[in-house]
Amino acid sequence: MIKPKHFSIPYIIWMGIFVVAPIILVIVYAFTASDGNLSFDSFSAMGSFASVFARSFWLAFLSTVICVIIGYPVAYILSGERQRTQRLMIMLIMLPMWMNFLLRTYAWMSILENTGLLNRLLGFVGLPQLQIINTQAAVVIGMVYNFLPFMVLPIYSVIVKIDRSLYEAAQDLGADSMSVFLKLVVPMSLPGVLSGIMMVFVPAVSTFVISQLLGGGKVMLLGDLIEMQFLGTAYNPHLGSAIALVMMVIVIAFMYVMNRFGEGEEKAVGL
């Protein structure tokens, strides 16, 4: 007789082949040399790429902060609209995600390049043109555009579930709109904010398509460095695996800290 737990077997096999096995291979390659012997040379060689690590985490952090600044007001305003308006706006927010990631990034290339739509518009109104393409600013713009929905949706899903009677109770006790927002909405929406931060920061710190297309190869990030070790001319899968393993450990540690912080906030607000 087939038990319910047996239905999980295909999923377990899938995870074992496509998740666990690759991670094991990365670990093996990271701690071995080309001759197959145990070696830490790949980790020692990572010191020369400290600037790439710093740049990747800085741009990912900056993009995440911008997404919070833009995404939180959007989610908050959206949660107060009528149901029909909410459904329409959610569809518009998700609409770009239905398009191919490369197409969305190519679209920003045509906007930001020297002869692109932005500079044409600036020239039309008599303003000086901007040199944005192939810079860190272009990479940040691409990150924010592509990952902003991952910030808006978690925050919106938490705020929209807050019981509206709490708003009324706070106002009955003499709280003005700003006090209600700062002392009620913000603390209760922090789990959504933390989820959004993780969903934006993790792909931003590991991206390579955005930096290649909008950075023009001049803004090297960790994703570019890892790809170079596996597919580029500097073929060194052992070094690439070591970099990927260190980045993965840092990201996991970041997610653990954010989850612990989120649990503490949930207890503090009584969720």
Contacts 24+ apart (CB under 8 A), 140-143: 140/59, 140/62, 140/63, 140/66, 141/108, 141/112, 141/214, 142/105, 142/108, 142/210, 142/213, 142/214, 143/59, 143/60, 143/63, 143/200, 143/204, 143/207, 143/210
Residue 188's identity, in one-letter code, is M
DSSP one-letter code for 36: S
In single-letter form, the type of residue at position 233 comes to T
Angle CA 29–32–34, to nearest 5: 90
Return the pLDDT at 177: 84
pLDDT in tens for each of the 271 residues of the chain? 667 777 888 889 999 998 899 999 999 999 999 888 999 999 999 889 999 999 999 999 999 999 999 999 999 999 989 999 999 999 999 988 888 888 999 999 999 998 899 999 999 998 898 999 999 999 999 999 999 999 999 999 999 999 888 888 888 888 888 898 988 999 999 999 999 999 999 999 999 899 999 998 889 999 999 989 988 777 899 999 999 999 999 888 988 888 777 665 555 555 4
Q: Which residue has the tokens 């597919």?
A: 231
Closest among 196, 208, 215, 203 to 251, alpha carbons compared: 203
Q: Give every CB contact of residue 147 below 8 A, 6+ residues apart in sequence.
A: 63, 67, 199, 200, 203, 204
Looking from the CA of 45 toward its CB, the CA atoms found within 13 Å total 17
**How far is Cα 59 from Cα 82, in angstroms, rounded to an integer?**
36
